Amino acid sequence: MGVLFAFCLVLIAVGLSTVLSWLFASSGAPVLVRPPRIFFALLWLFILLALFRRLMGRFGFPLGDMVEAADRVAAGDYSTRTPERGPHWMRTLARAFNSMTSRLEVQDRQRRDLMADIAHELRTPLAVLQGRLEGMLDGIYPRDEGQVAAVLQETRLLARLVEDLRTLAHSESGTLTLQKESTDLAILLNDTAASFAGEAAERQIQLNVDAAANLPLADIDPVRVREVLTNLISNALRHTPEHGRVSVAAAAETSGIVIGVSDTGHGIPADELPRIFDRFYKGHGSRGSGLGLTIARNLVVAHGGEIHAESVEGTGTTITFTLPLERRT
């Protein structure tokens, strides 16, 4: 196409030179020409102009649209779209350009939403910290151990949120480093569940672990997988009423080791279920930062596994994920 464009430009230049040579003598002074010669010169000029107009319509104007659209995108206007016209290859290029700007627009909107969500989540514990400290300085709150403990709790919440954001950023950018090693998942499951035993007993919730016998070793980062389990078990306990049950099960399949965390809570509405792994998404009555399930999904995917949720309102929720088996040499 570039060769054709150059050829047309050369043809127009040669044509114009020919017409001018017909109408002017070598001395540069105009000469008398016969009417047929003038007619053919004008006809040739008309053909050249028609060719130039067609050339501009097929190549020049679409390229001009593309350059103008690219300038607007460079200035930050990701809503820019360019008309799909011209030959097939230019329509294909315009379609690809519009697809690119559509993705850029979505990503820019997600970036702005993320910044707003982060600001909102950080503002709450910071406001509590500021209020309590100002209250102690003004004498509204006593400067005792209880108030200091409350302030410390808010700092821990803030630190957890910052660490969650850091993990989320690394996992989504692909810079998360996994320290994989052969791990006995049965031990990992029992240890993680044991850390919630006190909370479960206090709320009279049964917390059971059912790891299949002879469960093979898994090639995983035990710290990151423990983080996944902690998020899932914590969510399950939070949404399970007293005298309910939370179960953690693991079994080996051909695809890897399948782990499920089930609860007998209120369940998740069908319209909310597809969004529970979205960052900062909180269902009705949910607490926390809205990052736990997002981080769990990203960590599972980083291991090469999959995660999905099943839920029935009034019955409970089960979140299942897979992990790779130990690599055999």
* Domain 181-323 annotated CATH 3.40.50.970: no
CATH 3.30.565.10 residue spans of the chain: 181-323
3-state SS of the chain: helix, strand, coil percent to 5? 55, 15, 30
Classify strands 245-253 and 256-263 as parallel, antiparallel or unpaired: antiparallel
**pLDDT at residue 4, as a whole number:** 45
Q: Comparing C-alpha atoms, which of 285, 266, 277, 283 is closest to residue 309? A: 277
pLDDT along the chain (329 residues), means of 10: 51 56 49 50 60 58 72 81 76 82 82 74 78 84 82 78 78 80 90 89 90 85 90 89 91 87 88 79 62 86 90 88 72
CATH 1.10.287.130 residue spans of the chain: 110-173
**pLDDT at residue 249, as a whole number:** 92
pTM strictly above 0.85: no
Helix (H, G, I), strand (E, B), or coil: what is residue 31? coil
Architecture of the 110-173 domain:
Orthogonal Bundle (1.10)
**pLDDT at residue 21, as a whole number:** 57
Determine the Cα–Cα distance for residues 109 and 76; give it in Å rounded to an integer: 12
